[in-house]
């Protein structure tokens, strides 16, 4: 009997050990398998195990972590549609929640002259054709050639931002080079419009550098990655001055401070600008 009881005790001990090993091994294996999947980029992982011990807490933390990675991946994908994948990656490293950070940028506003009058008698199909042709060329210059970001399409123009991914104090110079190239590119646009039987376009561009809040702004249902602040407002006002002053490109002292010392520009009379207490000095590129 004593021998039997001893054998039963040994058997019970073995079973208990196997049960304990199983309770430990299963969650560890599940976590290891899911972690390998996440490392491989498969973010649809979720461990379904309801436990009240330390493994349950670990599993819940793992699931929360993966859910956060999924949200971040969706955010980066959406942002990448607006600014490109490389820039989106740099922006999210700097501001993971895209809640907004203040930084030095250069803002450019571009306007098509006489757009309302031009399109009054133009059928919608030809209006869209003209806009698509114009924007295709200009977006390529801003984003592909000079690394800026076309942030808003404004119907008869757009707003672009330079320096949001890695401001180095030279974004004003980059933005002005983009504006000069856009002025040259407009000749190609007008040549193509002529082939389509449409009248040529003329444009105005205003540039200003300064600090602005850059981030994701809006409601949970509708977000937009943009820049806001006095810098943006002044850039828009500077573009508006191109009409009254008869200039294609105008820029502020803050932009001029970033230009090479030998860059030729004309100093225009300081202009009264809505929302600014003192007249604003403005400059234009010097023509040959």
Q: What is the pLDDT of residues 190-216, one digit of tens each?
A: 999 999 888 899 999 999 999 988 877
- Is residue 257 pLDDT above 50, yes or no? yes
Confidence (pLDDT) at 177 = 96
- Is residue 80 pLDDT above 70, yes or no? no
Q: Report the candidate in 129, 170, 132, 115 with the shortest Cα–Cα distance to residue 148.
A: 170
Q: Quick one: what percent of the chain has pLDDT higher than 90?
A: 41
What's the average model confidence in pLDDT over 259-268? Answer: 94
Q: For the structural domain made of 97-285, what CATH number should be given? A: 3.30.70.1230
Q: Whole-number mean pLDDT of the chain?
A: 77
* pTM reported for the whole predicted model: 0.69
Confidence (pLDDT) at 282 = 96
Confidence of residue 158 (pLDDT cuts 50, 70, 90): very high
- Is residue 277 pLDDT above 90, yes or no? no
Exposure string for 182-206, b = 16+ CB within 10 A, e = fewer: beebbeebbeebeeeebeebebbbb
Higher pLDDT, 203 or 155: 203
- Is residue 147 pLDDT above 70, yes or no? yes
Where, residue-wise, is CATH 3.30.70.1230 in the chain? 97-285
Confidence (pLDDT) at 154 = 84
Q: Report the candidate in 107, 143, 77 with the shortest Cα–Cα distance to residue 227.
A: 107
Confidence (pLDDT) at 41 = 57
Confidence of residue 103 (pLDDT cuts 50, 70, 90): confident
What's the average model confidence in pLDDT over 218-229? Answer: 71
Confidence (pLDDT) at 121 = 79
pLDDT digits 0-9 by tens, 9-58:
444 444 444 444 555 556 556 656 666 665 665 656 566 665 545 555 55
Q: Report the candidate in 24, 15, 92, 90 with the shortest Cα–Cα distance to residue 58.
A: 24
Confidence (pLDDT) at 181 = 97
Confidence (pLDDT) at 60 = 61
Confidence (pLDDT) at 6 = 42
- Is residue 126 pLDDT above 80, yes or no? yes
């Amino acid at each position: 009997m004593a021998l039997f009881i001893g054998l039963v005790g040994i058997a019970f001990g073995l079973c208990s050990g196997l049960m304990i090993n199983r309770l430990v091994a299963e969650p560890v294996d599940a976590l290891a398998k899911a972690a390998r999947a996440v490392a491989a980029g498969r973010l649809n992982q979720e461990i379904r195990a309801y436990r009240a011990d330390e493994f349950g807490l670990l599993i819940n933390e793992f699931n929360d972590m993966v859910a956060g990675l999924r949200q971040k991946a969706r955010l980066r994908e959406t942002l990448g549609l607006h600014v490109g994948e490389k820039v989106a990656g740099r922006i999210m490293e700097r501001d993971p929640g895209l809640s907004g950070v203040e930084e030095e940028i250069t803002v450019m506003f571009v306007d098509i002259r006489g757009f309302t009058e031009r399109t009054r008698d133009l059928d919608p199909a030809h209006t869209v054709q003209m806009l698509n042709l114009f924007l295709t060329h200009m977006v390529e210059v801003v984003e592909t050639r000079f690394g800026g970001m076309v942030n808003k399409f404004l119907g008869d123009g757009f707003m672009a931002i330079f320096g949001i991914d890695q401001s180095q104090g030279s974004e004003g110079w980059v933005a002005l080079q983009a504006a000069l190239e856009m002025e040259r590119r407009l000749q190609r646009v007008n040549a193509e419009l002529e082939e389509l039987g449409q009248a040529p376009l003329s444009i105005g561009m205003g540039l200003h550098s300064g600090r602005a809040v850059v981030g994701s702004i809006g409601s949970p249902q509708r977000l937009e990655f943009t820049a806001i602040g006095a810098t943006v407002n002044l850039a828009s006002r500077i573009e508006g001055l191109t009409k009254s002053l008869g200039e294609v490109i105008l820029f502020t002292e803050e932009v001029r401070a970033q230009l090479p010392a030998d860059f030729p520009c004309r100093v225009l009379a300081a202009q009264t600008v809505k929302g600014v207490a003192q007249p604003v000095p403005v400059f234009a590129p010097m023509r040959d």
